[in-house]
Chain A
């Protein structure tokens, strides 16, 4: 059962453009939503995370937008750079008890020079 649906599967953006990756979840008990970034040959690394008490979180060029009623959250990469080319995974989990992260299927981003 896929609990976190991620789209698109792949994305090509021009340098300087905005990259947008979307995720939707089913379990209303989820209350922690991180994004992980993975470069080729490396393991994923935490990029940014949000909790549903805020609708947006920004760290540099990376912003998470969160819509609790729609059960959706998205990653926006402003002024996209070739160095942002990577695979991005959204994830979700519950904060009560020991709850494991559920990952989306990933988005391969290519930023063309």
Chain B
């Protein structure tokens, strides 16, 4: 079974804290993604990576950074958490590269609350 694992299901942080969200996939997939999900806004892409140490900005990268030191692991970093970053964060991975029709495999999400 394919598996994308996110390190925390729920996380509560204080404004200004540095926050790390971790994601691991066991499918040897090339591509990994971070989305945030907000009611009425759907899924919005924050960052993605198509190879180790490679990263590309998505639609809403402001306030976030990412790290991909190993193929199976993709980390999302909130440098200084703010209340407007309270959201559900979803990690995903996909195998296909360059076809544009990659099937995404999602983790179960991390609900982050910034107080």
Chain A residues near B (Cβ < 8 Å): 6, 9, 31-32, 34, 36, 41-46, 49, 51, 89, 93-101, 103-106
How far does the Cβ of A74 sit from chain B's closest Cβ, in whole Å?
A: 17
Highest count of chain A CB atoms <10 Å: which of B4, B99, B100, B106: B100
B positions within 8 Å CB-CB of A: 4, 33, 35, 40-45, 48, 50, 58, 90, 92, 97-109
Once the chains are docked, how many angstroms separate the CA of A69 from the CA of B35?
30
Chain A contact residues, majority secondary structure: loop
Given contacts A41-B108, A43-B106, A43-B108, 4 further A-B contacts (CB under 8 A): A43-B4, A100-B45, A103-B35, A106-B43
Residues of B within 8 A of A42 (CB): 106, 108-109
A43-B107 contact in complex given A95-B100, A99-B100, C-beta closer than 8 Å: yes
Which residues of the partner chain B approach A31 to less than 8 Å between Cβ atoms? 100
In the assembled complex, which residues on chain A have CB atoms less than 8 Å from the CB atom of B42?
Answer: 6, 89, 103-106
- Given contacts A6-B42, A43-B92, A106-B42, whether A96 and B106 have CB atoms under 8 Å apart is no
**Least Cβ distance of B20 to chain A in Å?**
19
B56 to chain A, nearest CB (A): 8
A98 vs B50: C-alpha distance in the bound complex, in angstroms?
A: 9
CA distance A84 to B44 in the complex (A): 24
A32 to B44, CA, bound (A): 18
Distance of A64 from chain B, by nearest CB (Å): 14
Given A43-B4, A89-B43, A94-B100, CB of A100 within 8 Å of CB of B106: no
| Contact, CB under 8 Å: B109 / A43 | yes
Residues in B with CB closer than 8 Å to A9 are 40
For the complex, give the distance between the alpha carbons of A49 and B98 in Å: 18
Q: Are B107 and A95 in contact (CB under 8 A)?
A: no
Q: Could you tell me if A98 and B97 are in contact, using CB atoms closer than 8 angstroms?
A: yes
Selected from A32, A34, A49, A103, the residue in CB contact (under 8 A) with B43 is A103
Assess the A49–B101 pair: CB atoms within 8 A.
yes
| Cα of A41 to Cα of B108 in the assembled complex, Å | 6
With a CB–CB cut-off of 8 A, which chain B residues contact A103? Answer: 35, 42-44
Contacts of A93 in B (CB 8 A): 100-101
